[in-house]
């Protein structure tokens, strides 16, 4: 055996066997709590905009450490994008936040989820209500032409603690106008960002802004109505339950893949 061959056998032995490995193509940090990254797309992965997959890294024991992440990129994209929180003592995100271009991430190519257009009955208008990283599935949906073919109006509401936490969504919305595929539909999308712990043009929790009528007044729209409106919700457990209650009080019924109806919800990834 040549010296060269001996070295490569040694390297191969040390390299971890990573099932379903994809390569990181870019990483963007927004705050000390938030970042996004893109990876190559598994050839076998077909998904509907709004769905999530299990992704992760190899754990200390050599076993994959996986969590559910909404795919933030649209279904036509060559790559996959994810938007993540950084938790300093979180088993996965304490390490995931340090990934660099060229690193490998595990992506299990089995998409699932309820935040899909097929889980809702046709209507005029759709509201996307997100807090924090809950904007990820909507980042996918607002870049999908199918959304604009189904709805006349799309309203994306994003509540965060601080202004910097809105940047990921704000940049996406801004870029939409110049997107060759979506640009022509961009005028159908209304973006309504709010903050709760730092001064910004619109302050308050989305729930309070709905309940006191501010949201509808600002948008010049009528209150929620099951005849015309659909709602997708993605945030903390508290947010999901509170908005679910608001939807039900307005007469909207929860839908699913097997039984489409008027609103759907999913918990945003935390930890
Ligand atoms: P608040 O600052 O009033 O708690 P977090 O970073 O904790 O996930 O929260 C993200 C955003 O979601 C914050 O602006 C937070 O507001 C808001 N939020 C948390 N829980 C709810 C809820 N039940 N209803 C509406 N907004 C919520």
Q: What pLDDT score does 250 carry?
A: 98
Q: Domain limits of the chain? A: 3-112, 117-265
The answer, yes or no, to whether any atom of ligand 1 lies below 6 A from the CB of 197, is yes
pLDDT of residue 4 exceeding 80: no
Q: Name the token pair of 5.
A: 């061959």
- 34 in ligand 1 pocket by Cβ < 6 Å? no
Q: Bridge-partner residues for 67, per DSSP?
A: 55
Protein fold of 3-112: Elongation Factor Tu (Ef-tu); domain 3 (2.40.30)
Query: Helices (DSSP H) in 102-203: which residue ranges?
Result: 136-141, 145-150, 167-176
Which one of 160, 195, 202, 236 would you pick to mutate in the ligand 1 pocket, going by the greatest count of ligand atoms within 8 A of its CB?
236
Mean of per-residue pLDDT scores for the chain: 93
Q: Which pLDDT belongs to residue 16?
A: 54
Tell me how crowded residue 59 is: count the other CB atoms within 10 A of its CB: 13
Model pLDDT for residues 6-56, shown as the tens digit of each residue: 444 444 445 555 779 999 999 999 999 999 999 999 989 999 999 999 999
- What lies within 8 Å, CB to CB, of 108 at 6+ separation is 20, 53, 54, 55, 66
pTM: 0.92
Residue of 270 and 8 predicted with greater confidence: 270
Q: Measured between alpha carbons, how far is 67 from 239 in angstroms, rounded to an integer? A: 21
Mean predicted confidence (pLDDT) in 48-72: 94
Counting from 1 in the atom list of ligand 1, the atom nearest the Cα of 238 is 23
Q: What percent of the chain has pLDDT over 70?
A: 93
Domain 117-265 has CATH 3.40.710.10: no
Residue-wise pLDDT for 189-239, tens only, equals 999 999 999 999 999 999 999 999 999 999 999 999 999 999 999 999 999
d(CA 192, CA 181): 23
Q: Which residue has the tokens 């300093």?
A: 88
Q: Which residues contact 155 (CB under 8 A, 6 or more apart)?
A: 125, 126, 127, 128, 189, 190, 192, 219, 221
Cβ of 251 closer than 6 Å to ligand 1, yes or no, is no
Does the structure show a pLDDT above 90 at 1? no
Q: How far apart are CA 237 and CA 270, in angstroms?
A: 10
Residue 75 DSSP label: T
Per-residue pLDDT band at 113 (split at 50, 70, 90):
very high
């Amino acid at each position: 055996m040549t010296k060269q061959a001996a070295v490569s056998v040694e390297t191969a032995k040390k390299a971890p066997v990573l099932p379903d490995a994809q390569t990181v193509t870019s990483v963007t940090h927004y705050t000390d709590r938030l970042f996004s990254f893109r990876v190559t797309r598994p050839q076998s992965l077909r998904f509907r905009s709004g769905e999530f997959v299990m992704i992760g890294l190899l754990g200390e024991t050599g076993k994959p450490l996986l969590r559910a992440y909404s795919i933030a990129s649209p279904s036509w994209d060559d790559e996959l994008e994810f938007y993540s929180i950084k938790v300093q003592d979180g088993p996965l995100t304490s390490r995931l936040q340090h990934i660099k271009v060229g690193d490998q991430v595990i992506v299990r190519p089995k998409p699932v989820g309820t935040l899909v257009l097929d889980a809702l009955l046709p209507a005029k208008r759709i509201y996307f209500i997100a807090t924090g990283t809950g904007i990820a599935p909507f980042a996918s949906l607002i870049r999908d032409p199918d959304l604009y073919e189904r709805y006349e109006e799309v309203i994306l509401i994003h509540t965060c603690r601080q202004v910097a936490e809105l940047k990921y969504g704000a940049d996406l919305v801004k870029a939409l106008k110049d997107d060759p595929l979506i640009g022509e539909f961009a005028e159908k999308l209304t973006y309504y960002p709010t903050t709760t712990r730092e001064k910004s043009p619109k302050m308050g929790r989305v729930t309070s802004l709905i309940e006191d009528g501010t949201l509808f007044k600002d948008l010049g729209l009528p209150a929620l109505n099951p005849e015309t409106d659909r709602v997708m919700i993605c945030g903390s457990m508290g947010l999901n339950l509170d908005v679910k209650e608001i939807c039900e009080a307005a007469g909207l019924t929860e839908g699913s893949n097997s039984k489409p109806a008027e609103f759907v919800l999913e918990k945003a990834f935390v930890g």
